[in-house]
Amino acid sequence: MVEQVRVDAEEVAGALLVSVGLLRRRLRQVPVEGELTLPQSSALARLDRAGPTTASALAKIEQISPQSMGATLAVLEARGLVGRQPDPADGRRVVLSVTDTGLDVLRHRRDARTARLARALSAGFSVEELSQLNAVAPLLERLAQSV
C-alpha cells in the first residue's frame, strides 16, 4: 500500500501495447475519400524528414519490407507526391524525393488524418499534455528500433 512509486517495465509495456494499438486502429478508421492511407502518410512524412533516398533505405527506417515500401511509394508517385530520379552512377538505384505537391500536402494540413488528430489534440488536451505527448514520440521511435 506504500510502494506505488516504482514504474514496472512490464506494466508500461502492457499499457503501451494496448494504447498504441487502440490509437492506431482509430486512426485507420478515419474515412479517407481520395486521401492518403496510413502507410502512405507515414512514408511521405518519413521521406520528407530523411531527405531524398532509396526505397530500400526507407523500408529499413519504417521497418517494413522493400516490396511493401515499393508498393506504397508507387501510389504516392502516381499521385505526384513523390518523384523518382534514377541514379546516374548506379543504374540499379532510384532515388525518391518529395515533390512540391507532396510538400504542399505535408505542410498545409491536406492530410485529413493528421488534421483530424491535430484538431482532437488542440480541443481536448492541455499545453502540458501536448508537450508530454511531443516528448514521448521520439521515445516511441527509439523503442520501436530497440524491440
Partner DNA sequence: TATTGTTATACTCTATAACTATA
Partner DNA sequence: TATAGTTATAGAGTATAACAATA
Residues making contact with DNA (CB under 7 A): 21, 25, 28-29, 37-39, 54-56, 63-68, 70-72, 74, 89-95
Residue among 127, 125, 126, 121 nearest 109 (CA): 121
Q: What's the closest the beta carbon of residue 13 comes to a copy of itself, in angstroms?
A: 4
Picked from DNA, a copy of itself, none, the partner binding residue 94 (CB below 5 to 8 A depending on kind) is DNA
141 in contact with a copy of itself (CB under 8 A) = yes
Nearer of residues 82 and 130 to DNA, judged by Cβ: 82
Binding track, positions 23-62, relative to a copy of itself; x by CB under 8 A: xxxxx-xx-------xx-xx--xx---------------x
Q: What is the pairing mode between strands 94-98 and 53-54? A: antiparallel
- Selection from DNA, a copy of itself, none that 142 binds (CB < 5 to 8 A by kind) is a copy of itself
Q: Is 2 in the site for a copy of itself (CB under 8 A)?
A: no
Which residues does residue 85 pair with via DSSP β-bridges, in sequence order? Answer: 95
Distance, in Å, from the CA atom of 73 to the CA atom of 84, rounded to the nearest integer, reads 10
In whole angstroms, the minimum distance from the beta carbon of 93 to a copy of itself comes to 24
Q: How far apart are the first and last CA of the chain?
A: 32
Order of strands across the sheet with 94-98? 53-54, 94-98, 82-86
Helix (H) or strand (E) holding 97: strand 94-98
